[in-house]
Structure 1
Amino acid sequence: MTLQQNQLPSLKESINKYNLHAKKSLGQHFLLDPMINQQIIALAGDLTNKNVVEVGPGPGGLTRALLDSPAQKVIGIEVDQRALQLLHELQPFYPERFQVVEHDALKLDLTTLCDSPRQIIANLPYNIGTSLLLGWLKQGQQWTRLTLMFQQEVAERICAAPNTEYYGRLSVIAQWVAECMIMKRIPPGAFAPPPKVYSAVINVLPKAEQPSPELFKAMEQVTAAAFGQRRKMLKGALKNIGGETLLSAANIDSTRRAETLTIAEFDQLARLHLAINA
């Protein structure tokens, strides 16, 4: 049975009904402010005819904003049983446009849930956000855009430039395959319960040219070695993967440190590493 949307209980009523309070063990901090949720949707661009996947919708504040958008379909991925009850209650109000999937997002290929064009828009659980992003970056142009909320420090790491405090492995891999931009910072008080730090929303737009799976793996290996001992000079940090040979072939000074290398230089090292080990 399709219910009229004006019969939809308020977000506060639904939270109280299911006693849905954020769990620290699940990395949950609920964003309930409808104005901020609407602003996040606006940052995701025109959603007309897009299929949108939301990871960790929790009580559904962002979900409701998505369902008010022109998105063709909204799919929520959730593991918290309390939230699932609330989200299933929301389904009859949007029977053709809203789907709930009970699954661990880390163990699920989200591209199998809907056709292109598809986007991910999510306030990610703090404890798995980075792992989720790395998985999605490997899928390249399977996604038209990712609009994601992280702890601000994580967002800074994703978007950092060389020779800055937060530049590291995550910066290199993310910016190698996508354009990454911090779009909005959100204070702790906007969440329930308030986290100890600011959060930030970023846009990740996959580049037209994407690396092969083999090249992506080579980049993972090079950046893991380079930043695993980031205070070491590259000749020492890359020693176990043939660093001297790689650096000489790339004409990169072996006394430099990882944080000084550009994305293009890491790309060069990854391609050489792949060629040498092919």
Structure 2
Amino acid sequence: MKNTGHQPRKRFGQNFLHDDRIISRLVSAINPKADDLMVEIGPGQAALTTPLLDKLNQLHAVELDRDLYPFLRAGLEPRGLTLHEADALKFDFTTLMTDDRPLRVVGNLPYNISTPLLFHLLAYKERIADMHFMLQLEVIERLAATPGNKNYGRLSVIAQYYCQVDKLFHVPPGAFNPPPKVMSAIVRLAPRKLSVEAENPVLLEKVVKISFAQRRKTLRNNLKQLLSAEQLEQLTQDLTLRPEQLSVEDYVKLSNQIASFNDASLL
């Protein structure tokens, strides 16, 4: 199913997976069950789609490249593929959730849209069981980074607030056509709830974004653009620390204390 004659397109960030050993490891990590409600983002030349359909009764797929539609329809719709001709960044994933089954999401994501797509998917976290993605290794290291690590930042805090993040294994450039110039890896994201929850998730994201706006500055300096001097003095968090020194739970507690100010200008 992989010899379509289709040339990978830079504008879609296409690097097609072709290494059977990597594909087998990825399918094993996903561990699909026949009745799973699963969607693949960017099926491309169906390298992952085909073995998934061997395990599933039905598979949804969201694809933007129109040139791939005839190939995917002719070869895989009879086997249970439901193709959605759409941009995953704009796709409403609730349209797939027609019963009580949680959604499972998989895909070899284009590097140029990986971060905004992750944030888009987190909007559906309450109905998602897990997500398995092929991503640039650098992005996965940011997702999984711990406090004090140079890769720890806004993406780390927000992703880990909503999900358990597990880096599974590396994927070399030669596993793709064309080979990317960077190393890739597989990550598993499983939505969860922490023991400390944000009273206002929108405010949490704003606090985290502002805190990491200038990494080398202290929290006090960064939060000046959000809070008054009086409000800063009321915070119990040590504001002499730099943003990468706070844990996810620290940021949740900080945002909850800021939310308690009941200041509409903060939102």
Please name the residue that 2:52 is paired with.
66
Matches within 5 A, 1:100-249: 100-115=83-98, 116-208=101-193, 215-242=200-227, 248-249=233-234
Structure 2 length normalisation: TM-score? 0.91
Distance (Å, rounded) in 2 between the aligned partners of 1:47 and 1:249: 52
Name the CA distance, whole Å, in 2 between partners of 1:61 and 1:249: 55
> Counterpart of 2:190 in 1: which secondary structure?
strand
Q: 1:270 to 1:255 in 2, by over 3 A?
A: same
Match of 2:16 among 27, 30, 33: 30
1:3 is matched with which residue? Answer: none
Distance 1:81 1:233, change over 3 A: same
* CA displacement 1:118-167 (0-9 Å, x = unmatched): 20010111111111111212322210000111100000000000100110
* AA aligned opposite 1:202: V
Paired residue secondary structure (2:111): coil
Alignment of 1:11 onto 2:8: no
Counterpart in the other structure of 1:93 = 78
Q: Aligned-residue CA RMSD in angstroms?
A: 2.1
With 199-208 and 268-277 compared, the bigger mean Cα shift is at 268-277
Identity between Structure 1 and Structure 2 (%): 34
1:265 paired to 2:243: no
1:98 partner letter: L
Structure 2 counterpart of 1:201, which letter? Answer: I
Aligned length: 261
> 8 Å contact 1:230–1:259 — kept in the other structure?
yes
Q: What is the letter of the counterpart of residue 24 of structure 2?
A: Q
> Structure 2: where are the runs of 5+ without partners?
none
Aligned to 1:42: 28
- The unaligned stretches of length 5 or more in structure 1 are 1-9
| Post-superposition offset of 1:230 | 1.1
Output the amino acid matched with 2:54: D
> Which residue is 1:78 aligned to?
63
TM-score (normalised: structure 1): 0.87
